[in-house]
Structure 1
Amino acid sequence: MAVPLLMTEEEGESRPTSLVIPEGWRATQVYEAVDKTLALPPGTTKKSLAKADLKLPNDAEGNPEGYLFPATYPLGENPTPEKLLTAMVGKANEKFTGAPIAAGAQRNALNVYQAVTIASIVQAEAAAKEDMGKVARVIFNRLERGMPLQMDSTVNYALGRSDLRTTTEDTKIDSPYNSYQRMGLPPTPIDNPGDEAMSAAINPTPGDWLYFVTVKSGDTRFTADYAEHQRNVAEFNRIRESASKQAAEAE
């Protein structure tokens, strides 16, 4: 995804005046966007973390993943990576430590950092905003039953990629983010969630679902029955393979 920028004309040259951080971007994507927007050498923003003095929760251990809040940030005069990162974390703290989020997390026996972590998974997994509450409920139901989350998004985060299909080999990766092998939540958020995902994380839709799969665009199926889920996954695979075959024949 190209970094969306608001441009202005000055002396015949275009320069960015704002940086837009989309919902669901990982910290690595944010760092790259800041470097590009400020015309800095790659890696500059990530290196600036040490001197940015970000106001992160103790659980984050200095890692801002989840707290680089998606929004539009004016660059202002003399923008620096530290100023932009501080603004993002400040916006996140303003959103997350307010009464609705803090009270909602407590109501679900979570601290705010855990709620942000759940929201980040919801942001990555939900195919549509209307599915977010149900995805959150699947996460809660699995945690309450002592089941591994088995979320492909956490494996993709461990592998540093995004992919619709996770292989059996992928699920064997030795990582604290491998929710196929590790119980509970991953150690940090896996992206930077927006308002809708945060709302879903503290207000999950009532239901008994344990499984879900987006069979095709606009058709995400939730169920508590494993056999039904297997049938849904088989349909997803058939549709995907058919689309791949048609694409290959068209070339």
Structure 2
Amino acid sequence: MSHQIFNERPKRKIIKWMIGLLLAFVVIAGGGALYVQSALKPAEKHSGEEVEVVIPRGSSAASIGQILEQKKLIKNKDIFRFYVRVKNISGFQAGTYVFSPSMSAHQMIDMMKSGDVTRTPKVQLTIPEGRQLSEIAEVFEKHTSYTKEQVMEKVQSKEFVEEMKKNYPKTITNEVDKKDIKYALEGYLYPATYSFYNEDVSLDEMLATMIGKTDEVIKKYEEEMKEKAYTPHQLLTMASLIEEEATEKVDREKIASVFYNRIDENMPLQTDPTVLYALGAHKDRVLYRDLEVDSPYNTYKVKGITPGPISNAGEMSIKATLKPAETDYLYFLATPEGEVIFTRTLKEHNKQKNIHITGKRDTD
């Protein structure tokens, strides 16, 4: 009999331990569920504030959650992403929405699934690829109530730059503060079409939306950047050089290969757009005297890439920066017809120049 009791006691202990473990799991799971429910409730139940939110085309649950958290519309972007995935919610539609902190995540999800994008935007800006800040400021002046001077003053404001660094710490880093950089946010206003439905939309919000789009695009290439040991600033800088040399007919990957090959050979990049950027000029021809401009952006005098971007780059140029073609080209020549001819030697390059370029570069 004692032998039987000896055998039963451990069994009872095991059963009690298992029951206790199960109860603990239920409590933890219940607490987790309550935490998730709390995170999905309104961020500020009694708020009357309206917040305009732009959801770009192709946005993932993670990127939407980040946008909503940055706008202080939800409490936790990770919980938002987790909830969307667990519930297998899909079909979010791009557009500009007006949300409020008094709305629950469920309400915002329903609105984004229905996609009310039929309204006419009060302000719409199309920012093309390869545009400098000064040119983007002109687009603002043409399509908004803000002048070019106001835009340029804002993007050069230390307070605004610091705010963007705080909002997008992985993309806008202290590299933008280097002393040789002309404009800290040059190259960070992503080329795209932006629609705003509030006619009183602030300049800060429009600029922040464009920078936010750059942040979103950059994050898609984190692994590739790690492989090349590139920072976002270096990536945008090289991409801008490729963008400025590209035409509709050109293979950006080949242009990238030329730049990388020249760097490997310890040769200056010698790309004319950097000279024009250094001069602050827009003109069709670069003169020999222009090549003498004393500037860290003059790639005829300074080897390697420029201190920062010289314009905004599209995603095609970003991809080319990360995955250049494998070639042994060291030169390329853009013809008047928009074709780009790649060559391996200076002799070949000069031969193509004589064939395709009429006249000679001015020497005055």
Q: Distance in 2 between matches of 1:30 and 1:42?
A: 8
Are residue 90 (structure 1) and residue 219 (structure 2) matched?
Answer: no
Structure 1 counterpart of 2:124: 18
Deviation per CA, 1:103-162: give whole Å up to 9, x if none: 223323322211111110111001236421111111111111111010001001111223
2:226 maps to amino acid: Q
Q: Which residue of 2 aligns with 1:30?
A: 136
Would the alpha carbon gap of residues 16 and 235 (structure 1) be closer, same or farther in structure 2, given more than 3 Å must change?
Answer: farther
Output aligned runs, 1:105-116, within 5 Å: 105-116=225-236
CA-atom RMSD, angstroms?
2.0
Deviations 1:213-238 (A, max 9, x none): 01232431101111000111222322
Match for 2:187 among 49, 63, 66? Answer: 66
Q: Determine the structure 1 residue equivalent to 2:117.
A: none
Task: Tell me if 1:221 matches 2:341.
Answer: yes
How do residues 186-225 of structure 1 correspond to structure 2 at under 5 angstroms? Answer: 186-225=306-345
Deviations 1:199-250 (A, max 9, x none): 1111111101110001232431101111000111222322x68xxxxxxxxx
The 2-side partners of 1:201 and 1:41 are apart by 34
**Residue number in structure 1 paired with 2:246:** 126
1:129–1:118 Cα change, 3 Å: farther
Higher alpha-carbon Rg:
2
Equivalent-residue separation in structure 2 for 1:143 and 1:105 (angstroms): 18
SS in 2 for 1:48: helix
**Deviation of the 1:16 alpha carbon:** 5.0
SS in 2 for 1:22: coil
SS at match of 1:73: strand
Q: Choose from 43, 64, 76 the match for 2:149.
A: 43
Q: Which moved more, 1:15-24 or 1:76-85?
A: 15-24
**Higher normalized strand content (fraction of residues):** 1
- Identify which of structures 1 and 2 has the higher relative contact order when contacts are C-alpha pairs closer than 8 Å and 6+ apart: 1
Structure 2 CA distance for partners of 1:222 and 1:179, relative to 1, 3 Å:
same
Confirm or deny: 8 A CA contact 1:215 1:232 kept in the other structure: no
Q: Across the two proteins, how many residue pairs are aligned to each other?
A: 225
Structure 1 counterpart SS, 2:251? helix
2:101 match: none
After superposing the two structures, state which structure 1 stretch, 207-216 or 159-168, moved more: 159-168
Query: How far does the alpha carbon of each residue in 1:159-207 deviate from its partner, in whole angstroms, 9 at most, with x for none?
Result: 1223342211011001111000011111010000001111111111110
Separation in 2, partners of 1:42, 1:153: 22
Of residues 102, 108, 130, the one that matches 2:222 is 102
Q: Is the 8 A contact 2:134 2:148 kept in 1?
A: no
Measure how far apart 1:86 and its partner are. 0.4
Letter of the 1:146 partner, please give it.
N
Distance between the aligned counterparts of 2:306 and 2:269, measured in 1?
A: 9
Residues 131, 163 of structure 1: CA spacing in aligned structure 2 closer, same or farther, 3 A cutoff? farther
Question: Hey, what does 2:173 align to over in structure 1?
Answer: 57
Matches within 5 A, 1:136-151: 136-151=256-271
Identity of aligned residues (%): 32
Change in Cα spacing, 1:76 to 1:31, as seen in structure 2 (3 Å) is same
CA distance in structure 2 between the partners assigned to 1:54 and 1:160 by the alignment: 25
Question: Quick check: 1:155–1:179 contact (8 Å CA) kept in 2?
Answer: yes
Distance 1:71 1:15 in 2: 15
Q: Check whether the contact 1:102–1:111 (CA below 8 A) recurs between aligned residues.
A: no
Q: For residues 24-52 of structure 1, what are the alpha-carbon distances to aligned partners after superposition, in whole Å with 9 as ceiling and x for unaligned?
A: 11111112222332223330112123243
Task: Check whether the contact 2:187–2:309 (CA below 8 A) recurs between aligned residues.
Answer: yes
- Unmatched 5+ stretches in structure 1: 1-13, 242-251
The one-letter code matched in structure 2 to 1:145 is E
